Structure 1
Amino acid sequence: MGVSIKWLKQYVDCEWSPQELANRLTMAGIAVEGVEKAGDDFLLEMDLTPNRGDCLGIINLAREVAALTGSKIQLPEIKLQESEEPIENYINVEINDPDLCRRYAARLIKDVKIKPSPVWMQEALEKAGIRPINNIVDITNYVMLESNQPLHAFDYRLLSGDPKKIVVRRAKDGELFTTLDGVERKLDHDMLVITDGNQAIALAGIMGGENTEIRDDTVDVLLESANFSGPNNRRTGRKLAIRTDSSQRFEKGLDVNGVIYAVNRAAALMQELADGKIARGICDAFPHPEPVKRITLRPERVNYLLGTELTEDKIVSYLERLEFRIDKNGSALVVEIPGYRPDITMEVDLIEEVARLYGYENIAPTLPAGSAAQGGLNPWQKFRDQVKNLAARSLFEVVTYSFINPAAFDALLINEDSPLRDTVVVANPLSEEQGVMRTLLLPGLLATASTNLARKNENLAFFEMGSVFMPSDSGLPIERLQLGGIVSGSSEINWLRHKVEMDFFYLKGILEDIFIQLGINGAKFVPVRDDSFHPGRTARIIKDDLVIGILGEIHPLVLENYDIKQRCCAFELDMEKLFSFSQNKTMMEEITRYPAVERDIAVLMSQEIEAGEALQVIAEAEKDLLRNIVVFDIYTGEQVPEGFKSVAFKMTFQSSERTLTEADINQSMEKIINSLEIKLKATRR
Structure 2
Amino acid sequence: FETLDGVKRTVPSDGLLIWDGERPVALAGIMGGLDTEVTEATVNVFLESAYFEPSSIRKTSRRLGLSTESSYRFERGTDIEGLVRALDRAAFLIQELAGGTVSKRIDVYPERFSPKQIKLRYKEVARLLGADIGKDEIERILEALEFKALRKEQDSCLYEVPTFRVDIFNETDLIEEVARHFGYSRIPSRTPKVEINPVVDRRKRALRIIKETMVVSGFSEAINYSFMNSRYLSLLGIKGDDPRTNSVKLLNPLRKEDEDLRTFLLPSLLDNLINNLNQNIRDIKLFEVSRVFIRTSERLPSEPLHLGAVYLYYPGQRLWDEKLEPFYLLKGLIEKTLKRLNIASADFRASSEPFLHPKRSADVFIDGKRAGFVGVLSSQVKIALGLEDVREPVGVCEIDLDLLLDHYRDTHSFRALPAFPFVQRDISLLLSKELSSKEVLDLVASSGDELIEDYWIFDHYEGKNIPEGMKALGISIRYRAKDRTLTDEEVEASHRKLTEYLLERTGGRLR
User: Please, what TM-score do these two structures have when normalized by structure 2?
Assistant: 0.73
Is 2:397 aligned against 1:571?
yes
Q: Which residue of 2 aligns with 1:392?
A: 215
Is 2:462 aligned against 1:635?
yes
Structure 2 counterpart of 1:297, one-letter code? K
Q: Distance in 1 between matches of 2:384 and 2:48?
A: 48
Alpha carbons of structure 1 residues 369 and 218: separation in structure 2 relative to 1, 3 Å: closer
Structure 1 counterpart of 2:417, one-letter code? E
Is 2:440 aligned against 1:599?
no
Q: Distance in 2 between matches of 1:614 and 1:289?
A: 79
How far did residue 417 of structure 1 move? Answer: 6.1
How far did residue 594 of structure 1 move? Answer: 3.3
Higher mean displacement: 608-617 or 256-265: 256-265
Q: Which residue of 1 aligns with 2:497?
A: 671
Q: Distance in 2 between matches of 1:445 and 1:615?
A: 34
Is 2:351 aligned against 1:524?
no
Q: Which residue of 2 aligns with 1:505?
A: 328
Alpha carbons of structure 1 residues 525 and 413: separation in structure 2 relative to 1, 3 Å: same
Higher mean displacement: 398-407 or 441-450: 398-407
Q: Which residue of 2 aligns with 1:122?
A: none
Alpha carbons of structure 1 residues 289 and 638: separation in structure 2 relative to 1, 3 Å: farther
How far did residue 613 of structure 1 move? Answer: 1.4
Q: Which residue of 2 aligns with 1:297?
A: 119
Structure 2 counterpart of 1:508, one-letter code? K
Q: Distance in 2 between matches of 1:418 and 1:222?
A: 57
Is 2:225 aligned against 1:402?
yes
- Note if contact 2:149-2:159 (Cα within 8 Å) is conserved in structure 1: yes
How far did residue 471 of structure 1 move? Answer: 8.8
Q: Distance in 1 between matches of 2:30 and 2:58?
A: 12
Q: Distance in 1 between matches of 2:271 and 2:63?
A: 27
How far did residue 558 of structure 1 move? Answer: 5.5
Aligned residue pair count: 490
Is 2:440 aligned against 1:617?
no
Q: Which residue of 2 aligns with 1:54?
A: none
How far did residue 627 of structure 1 move? Answer: 2.9
Q: Distance in 2 between matches of 1:214 and 1:320?
A: 46
Structure 1 counterpart of 2:368, one-letter code? D
Q: Distance in 2 between matches of 1:104 and 1:321?
A: 38
- Note if contact 2:377-2:394 (Cα within 8 Å) is conserved in structure 1: yes
How far did residue 348 of structure 1 move? Answer: 1.9
Deviations 1:594-618, CA, capped at 9 Å, x for gaps:
363322231434x332111111211
Q: Distance in 1 between matches of 2:329 and 2:196?
A: 45
Work out which of the residue numbers 608, 611, 616 in structure 1 matches 2:434: 608
Q: Which residue of 2 aligns with 1:194?
A: 32
Is 2:277 aligned against 1:453?
yes
Q: Which residue of 2 aligns with 1:206?
A: none
- Note if contact 2:250-2:261 (Cα within 8 Å) is conserved in structure 1: yes
Q: Distance in 2 between matches of 1:591 and 1:657?
A: 9
Q: Which residue of 1 aligns with 2:473?
A: 647
Alpha carbons of structure 1 residues 433 and 586: separation in structure 2 relative to 1, 3 Å: farther
Q: Which residue of 2 aligns with 1:261?
A: 85
Is 2:365 aligned against 1:542?
yes
Q: Distance in 2 between matches of 1:667 and 1:404?
A: 61
Q: Which residue of 1 aligns with 2:4?
A: none
Q: Distance in 2 between matches of 1:536 and 1:669?
A: 32
Q: Distance in 2 between matches of 1:405 and 1:555?
A: 21
Deviations 1:570-626, CA, capped at 9 Å, x for gaps:
112344654553567484643666363322231434x33211111121133234234
How far did residue 474 of structure 1 move? Answer: 13
Deviations 1:301-351, CA, capped at 9 Å, x for gaps:
45554554765x986775555445665699987655444222122332233
- Note if contact 2:366-2:404 (Cα within 8 Å) is conserved in structure 1: no
User: Please, what TM-score do these two structures have when normalized by structure 1?
Assistant: 0.57
Alpha carbons of structure 1 residues 595 and 247: separation in structure 2 relative to 1, 3 Å: closer
For residue 341 of structure 1, give the secondary structure of its aligned residue in structure 2: coil
Alpha carbons of structure 1 residues 571 and 521: separation in structure 2 relative to 1, 3 Å: same
For residue 388 of structure 1, give the secondary structure of its aligned residue in structure 2: helix
How far did residue 194 of structure 1 move? Answer: 2.8
Higher mean displacement: 609-618 or 380-389: 380-389
More strand by percentage: 1
Q: Distance in 2 between matches of 1:624 and 1:506?
A: 31
Structure 2 counterpart of 1:294, one-letter code? K
How far did residue 543 of structure 1 move? Answer: 2.8
User: Which sections of structure 2, spanning at least 5 residues, go unmatched?
Assistant: 1-9
Alpha carbons of structure 1 residues 474 and 266: separation in structure 2 relative to 1, 3 Å: farther
Q: Distance in 1 between matches of 2:141 and 2:118?
A: 16
Is 2:25 aligned against 1:167?
yes
Q: Distance in 2 between matches of 1:373 and 1:409?
A: 46
Q: Distance in 2 between matches of 1:494 and 1:318?
A: 65
Q: Distance in 1 between matches of 2:417 and 2:47?
A: 91
Q: Distance in 2 between matches of 1:473 and 1:345?
A: 36
How far did residue 167 of structure 1 move? Answer: 2.9
Deviations 1:371-411, CA, capped at 9 Å, x for gaps:
65388977766654544343235443142323324536645
How far did residue 554 of structure 1 move? Answer: 3.8
Is 2:417 aligned against 1:590?
yes
Is 2:164 aligned against 1:340?
yes
Q: Which residue of 1 aligns with 2:5?
A: none
Q: Distance in 1 between matches of 2:220 and 2:77?
A: 41
How far did residue 449 of structure 1 move? Answer: 0.9
Alpha carbons of structure 1 residues 297 and 214: separation in structure 2 relative to 1, 3 Å: same
How far did residue 451 of structure 1 move? Answer: 1.5
- Note if contact 1:409-1:421 (Cα within 8 Å) is conserved in structure 2: no
Q: Distance in 2 between matches of 1:327 and 1:573?
A: 59
Q: Which residue of 1 aligns with 2:6?
A: none
Q: Which residue of 2 aligns with 1:272?
A: 96
- Note if contact 2:452-2:477 (Cα within 8 Å) is conserved in structure 1: no
Structure 1 counterpart of 2:347, one-letter code? K
Q: Distance in 2 between matches of 1:638 and 1:499?
A: 27
- Note if contact 2:458-2:474 (Cα within 8 Å) is conserved in structure 1: yes
- Note if contact 2:222-2:286 (Cα within 8 Å) is conserved in structure 1: no
How far did residue 441 of structure 1 move? Answer: 2.4
Q: Distance in 2 between matches of 1:560 and 1:250?
A: 50
Q: Distance in 2 between matches of 1:343 and 1:426?
A: 29
Structure 1 counterpart of 2:331, one-letter code? K
Identity of aligned residues (%): 25
How far did residue 446 of structure 1 move? Answer: 0.6
Alpha carbons of structure 1 residues 559 and 379: separation in structure 2 relative to 1, 3 Å: same
Q: Distance in 1 between matches of 2:368 and 2:75?
A: 51
Work out which of the residue numbers 483, 492, 497 in structure 1 matches 2:307: 483
Deviations 1:222-264, CA, capped at 9 Å, x for gaps:
5465657664698699x78x876x5653464433554553233
Alpha carbons of structure 1 residues 531 and 222: separation in structure 2 relative to 1, 3 Å: farther
Structure 1 counterpart of 2:164, one-letter code? Y
- Note if contact 1:677-1:683 (Cα within 8 Å) is conserved in structure 2: yes
Q: Distance in 1 between matches of 2:30 and 2:353?
A: 42
For residue 277 of structure 1, give the secondary structure of its aligned residue in structure 2: coil
- Note if contact 2:458-2:476 (Cα within 8 Å) is conserved in structure 1: yes
Structure 1 counterpart of 2:348, one-letter code? F
Deviations 1:485-519, CA, capped at 9 Å, x for gaps:
112355558786553443x2332133334444555
- Note if contact 1:538-1:553 (Cα within 8 Å) is conserved in structure 2: yes
